[in-house]
Amino acid sequence: MRLLMTGFMPFPGVDVNPTQLPIRYFQDETVALPKGVQLIPEVLPTAFEAAELRIRHLIREEQPDAVLCLGVAQKREAINIERIAHNWDEAIIPDMDGVQLSGQKIVSDAPEMYYSTLPIERMMAILLAADIPAVFSDDAGRYVCNHVFYCARHEIDQLGRNMPCGFVHVPGLAGMGEFPGWEIERLLDGVKCCVEAIGGA
C-alpha cells in the first residue's frame, strides 16, 4: 500500500506545526513501517490555494492507495478522527499567504460534505488499545485543514477512484502555547497507530 501522508507548515499563531514532525520522522528510511506500507510524506503550505493545488497534484501524479492528512488543533486534548469535510471556508485568521477566506464554498456545484473513507473504527480501536486518547469529530473547522480534507476527497471523487482518504487532527505540542499539549513521543505514537490501522485494513 502506498500511503500519502501530509502535514502542514506553521501558520499565524502556530510557530511550530507539530504535524511536520511525523512527516520528518517517517522520511527517515531507518524507521520501520507496517509490513507492505510505503509512505509518501509531504508537508503542505498552510495556505488555501497552494495547499489545494498541491494535494490535488499529489493524488493525481502519485496515485496513492490511501491518503491520510494531518492537522493541528491547539485546543483539543485528544486525537480527533475527523468524519466530515464541509464545503465551506470561514477563516478567523489569514493563512500563511495572508489570505483570509470568509463565507464561501470551496467548490461550487459540489456536495455540501464528504465523509472520511479511512478505516476510522479500526483507527479508533488501535489508538484506544495503545492508551492514546482519541475521539471522533464532525467538525474539522473551516480553515486550511478542512479545505484540504474536502479538496482531497473531491479530487478522488472526480477521478472515480476507490481510495481511502481522511483527516486527523492532533493536539499541539507541550510547552508551545497556552494549552497543555502533548509530548512529541506521544504524538508520534498516535500517528503510528493511524498508519498501522490504514495499512492493515
Q: Is 145 a catalytic residue?
A: yes
CA atoms within 13 A on the CB side of 144: 30
Q: Is 42 a catalytic residue?
A: no
Among all chains, which residue has been given the C-alpha cell 470561514? 90
- Candidates 145, 151, 193, 194; catalytic one: 145
How far apart CA 197 and CA 193 sit, in angstroms, is 6
- Dihedral Cα 55, 61, 62, 68, nearest 10 deg: 20
How far apart CA 11 and CA 199 sit, in angstroms, is 30
Among all chains, which residue has been given the C-alpha cell 493545488? 53
Q: Is 82 a catalytic residue?
A: yes
- Candidates 82, 155, 193, 196; catalytic one: 82
What residues contact residue 110 under an 8 Å CB cut-off, 6+ apart?
87, 154
- Candidates 151, 169, 193, 194; catalytic one: 169
Whether the Cβ atoms of residue 42 and residue 58 lie closer than 8 Å to each other: yes
Could you list the active site residues?
82, 145, 169
